[in-house]
Structure 1
Amino acid sequence: MLALPKYLALSAGAVTCVVAHALYTREQYFPAMVYLSTSKAALVAIGNFAFALMLVLAHAVKATFLGTLREAEVERLYERTRDAVMETCLAMTIFREEFNSRFVALFVSLLFVKAFHWLYQDRVQYTETAPTLSRFTHVRLATFMGTLLLVDLSMLSYIVGNTIENGPSVLLLFGFEYVILATKLFVGFAKYLIISADRMLDGQWQGKGTCVFYLELVTDLLQLFVYFVFFLIIFAYYGMPVHLVRDLYVTFRNFRKRVEEFIRYRRVTANLNDRFPDSTAEDLSTGDDVCIICRENMEVDAQGGSKPKKLPCGHSFHLHCLRSWLERQQACPTCRQSVLP
């Protein structure tokens, strides 16, 4: 942050010198503008100054909506940025004939917007484990989400309008990216609402895990659909999009895995109350009467979700704790033995 003012000052000085040189040597406004728009040195200076202004804007947005970033957020931001740059370079093998200054500007803008989407997702995830959250934090997150959504929709509107008017171009790549970003933004906001509702209930909302499970399932299906449609469009106009093969496969694999988990979950939780017998006083006395999932004592005469249930392996857990655990994996949390027949 300390180096940013110096970088901005040097960039401003460089672009000032370039503009002054253009006006001095061309003497008239129009020839000077032609020089600035065609000279490689002038374009580099102007582009560098625009990048410096974007960094200033990034710091302002971060300070307004996020405050100080945690170390884990910074590390993940660097990793994701590196991966995004590599993926875009691979994508340019398809659109290499359309590489120009507009592409560079769109790419930098996309990377800028992506970075804040990543930070928003990380911050939403952090709210689940944060000890306390002020009302101001909630307002900032909601406003941040609205701002990002406005940017996504504005860029999509521009890209769709340009594509309808001029036909398919490299803008398809950026349009696809903004669709994915908007989708993940809605998913992140839905998770934020679920987490907030659970916090209001002091972490006792038993349906939270189920809601998140269904949300992730629908998200994977939607992302698979978007990737597949984009793959077909690029294949129809530009040929085989090699850079998308891996992403399409990974998305399909994740969706298939999620469906398999969903089927197993539905099978094991169907009539969960009748599938596993109630734990007796002898079961709790010979074993551990503390549910290792919630770390609370189990009582034989408890009712509803607090009723202790015994798995085939002999370990006992609260009914609602067991249901929540089985949403993620179908194995005993103590001995890892499968609960499936």
Structure 2
Amino acid sequence: MRLGWYAGASTALAGTVVLSAFYQRANFYSAMVYLAQSNFCLLVLVNFSLLLYSSFVYGLTRMFFGPLRAVEVEQLTERAWFAITETCLAMTIFREEIGAWFLVMFAALVTGKVWGWIGDGRVEVLEQQPPANPRLFHLRLSLSLTLSFIYDIYILRYTINTVIQQARPNMMVMFLFEFAVLATSSWRTAARYALSLTEQNIQESQKRKRLAERRQEVRQEREAIIRQREAAAAAGEEVSDEPLPNEDDIDEMDIEVPGWSAKGEFVLWLDLVTDLVKLGIYIVFFFMLLAFYGLPIHIMRDLFMTARDFIKRLGALMRYRKAIQEMNRYPDATQEDLGREDTCIICREEMRPWDPENNPGAMDRIRPKKLPCGHILHLGCLKSWLERQQVCPTCRSPVTLSENARAAQNRAAGLRIEIGGGRPADQQPPANPGAAPVQGQQNGGAQPEQRPAGPRIFNFGPLRVGFGANGQQVRELAQQFGMPQAALNQQGLAPPTPGAGTPIVAGTTATVSPLPTGDNLQNVGTLLSQADQQS
């Protein structure tokens, strides 16, 4: 409703200023001069031109994409604000060259970005769920992606030719790099759409092949039952009246296919290469503007986000390949394991024990695998999950064996430090039998063992700072850093030996709880410096 009021008011104002100009001036030329020299008339006409252009783009969007969903409108609004803000910051760099042509190029840039965002979102929707009308959906999406890529390449070529002809840095340099990034994003979206189409074709061919095999099995089973009945009738035995299996009763929805398992790695490589190209474009653009105009504030966010995404995708790809290599080392879930947990947390389907001998038609993707943390998932669901994250979807622990063992060691070491450096309760050494029993033990009651006070631990992101550590905790910390026993003796942190007044009984071990000392913090610093020198 508000948009309708805006369109009506803009049209009325534009018509009013044009009629007023022709009424006040005698001929067409003088009327055009009046409209061009009046700031108010220019503002009204530019606003009306933007309204017409927006209406044209909206019509093309409805024709190629159909009605937009609410989530798409929200995402477009959020991204458009960032794009407009960055362009306003760019105006501060090219403020001497701002004019009508700058607004035209800016409108063209926003149009290309909006089309790219919508196309990328539609490809993601295609990967998540099949469309209601596949023929119309694919026709619209393929035409829109092709038109978007041609549009970006055409304007990129125009900006390159303009920069070469002018042979000086100006606002066209900014649009050159912007459309280069936009063309890269359009290429990535088109390549991902091609991968999705390839996956669908592979699944369809696998489904047709599996359906033909299943129908052949039903026909063979039907012929075998008919022969058995004929043999029974010839022998004078009673013939069963059960209905024969029919191959037409097979539903295509019940056919399971392995799919295209290599798609996930291709998508990761595609995103990594795209981020690498975009990062190179942003770096060149950043240093070029820095050399001629000063610090380009408007692309610092994009440069940082692209560099961060590239590093994250590179690490994710390396972890994914490592997890895929170690996936075959994961044991299959047994019947006892599935008795405790028989539902896959990703697909929410029931898991069954893997028995390829008795069930030769079972797909490898439904094979239940037990992760190092103990949780069970389908093999296919696990592969699809590893494309996004390399941790368990239930407990968030690493899925690779080496990282899981390292995380367990770190948790155990941190637990020992936090509880005061003592051993767990089931590994505590026996108490000193030579000491006098306390009153509770004389009466037959169990007196809980008192642990030494642990340090106060403060977490500052990846840093952990502790205060009030005693000598035993310092020794354990030094052992974790690989300090030799001689260095501990030099610092006076060797394990305490029982004194002369402490009775020792054969077969037992005397333990002395060291008291906190004021020099432990200095000792820790000395040990850490020695560890750095040795490493």
- TM-score by shorter chain over 0.5: yes
Post-superposition offset of 1:26: 4.9
- 2:178 maps to a residue whose letter is E
Is 1:237 aligned with 2:292? Answer: yes
Task: Give 1:23-34 correspondences, 5 Å limit.
Answer: 23=22, 25-34=24-33
Task: Give distance in 2, aligned partners of 1:197 and 1:293.
Answer: 24
Task: Give distance in 1, aligned partners of 2:129 and 2:354.
Answer: 34
From the superposition, tell whether residues 205 and 73 of structure 1 become closer, same or farther in structure 2 (CA, over 3 Å): same
Aligned to 1:319: 379
| Preserved CA contact (<8 Å) 2:334 2:353 | no
Deviations 1:229-280 (A, max 9, x none): 211221222122122222212211111111111222222222531x223333
Task: Give 1:196-207 correspondences, 5 Å limit.
Answer: 196-200=197-201, 201=203, 204-207=259-262
Post-superposition offset of 1:9: 5.4
Is 1:255 aligned with 2:310? Answer: yes
Post-superposition offset of 1:89: 1.3
Post-superposition offset of 1:140: 0.8
From the superposition, tell whether residues 317 and 14 of structure 1 become closer, same or farther in structure 2 (CA, over 3 Å): closer
| Preserved CA contact (<8 Å) 1:308 1:317 | yes
| Preserved CA contact (<8 Å) 2:116 2:186 | yes
Task: Give distance in 2, aligned partners of 1:114 and 1:36.
Answer: 32
Aligned to 2:344: 291
Aligned to 1:175: 176
From the superposition, tell whether residues 269 and 49 of structure 1 become closer, same or farther in structure 2 (CA, over 3 Å): same
Aligned to 1:140: 140
Post-superposition offset of 1:111: 2.0
- 1:178 maps to a residue whose letter is F
- 1:93 maps to a residue whose letter is T
Post-superposition offset of 1:189: 1.9
| Preserved CA contact (<8 Å) 2:268 2:387 | yes
- 2:152 maps to a residue whose letter is D
Task: Give distance in 2, aligned partners of 1:63 and 1:56.
Answer: 11
TM-score, normalised with respect to structure 1: 0.88
1:86 partner SS? helix
2:374 partner SS? coil
From the superposition, tell whether residues 31 and 162 of structure 1 become closer, same or farther in structure 2 (CA, over 3 Å): farther
Deviations 1:58-99 (A, max 9, x none): 231122112211111111111111111111111222112222
2:120 partner SS? helix
From the superposition, tell whether residues 176 and 265 of structure 1 become closer, same or farther in structure 2 (CA, over 3 Å): same
Is 1:211 aligned with 2:212? Answer: no
Moved more, 77-86 or 202-211: 202-211
RMSD over aligned Cα atoms = 2.6
Post-superposition offset of 1:152: 1.5
Is 1:57 aligned with 2:60? Answer: no
2:265 partner SS? helix
From the superposition, tell whether residues 11 and 324 of structure 1 become closer, same or farther in structure 2 (CA, over 3 Å): closer
1:317 partner SS? strand
Post-superposition offset of 1:138: 0.7
- 1:156 maps to a residue whose letter is L
Aligned to 1:67: 66
Post-superposition offset of 1:172: 1.7
Task: Give 1:255-274 correspondences, 5 Å limit.
Answer: 255-273=310-328
Task: Give distance in 2, aligned partners of 1:2 and 1:89.
Answer: 25
2:323 partner SS? helix
| Gapped regions of structure 2 (runs ≥ 5) | 205-256, 357-362, 403-535
Higher relative contact order (CA 8 A, sep 6+): 1
Aligned to 2:479: none
TM-score, normalised with respect to structure 2: 0.58
Aligned to 1:112: 111
Task: Give distance in 2, aligned partners of 1:307 and 1:86.
Answer: 50
Moved more, 244-253 or 126-135: 126-135
- 1:69 maps to a residue whose letter is L
| Preserved CA contact (<8 Å) 1:7 1:52 | no
Task: Give distance in 2, aligned partners of 1:323 and 1:227.
Answer: 33
- 2:355 maps to a residue whose letter is D
From the superposition, tell whether residues 41 and 336 of structure 1 become closer, same or farther in structure 2 (CA, over 3 Å): closer
Post-superposition offset of 1:333: 2.5
- 2:139 maps to a residue whose letter is V
Task: Give distance in 2, aligned partners of 1:81 and 1:176.
Answer: 18
Is 1:301 aligned with 2:355? Answer: yes
Aligned to 1:94: 93
| Gapped regions of structure 1 (runs ≥ 5) | none
Structure with the higher fraction of residues in helix conformation: 1
Aligned to 2:512: none
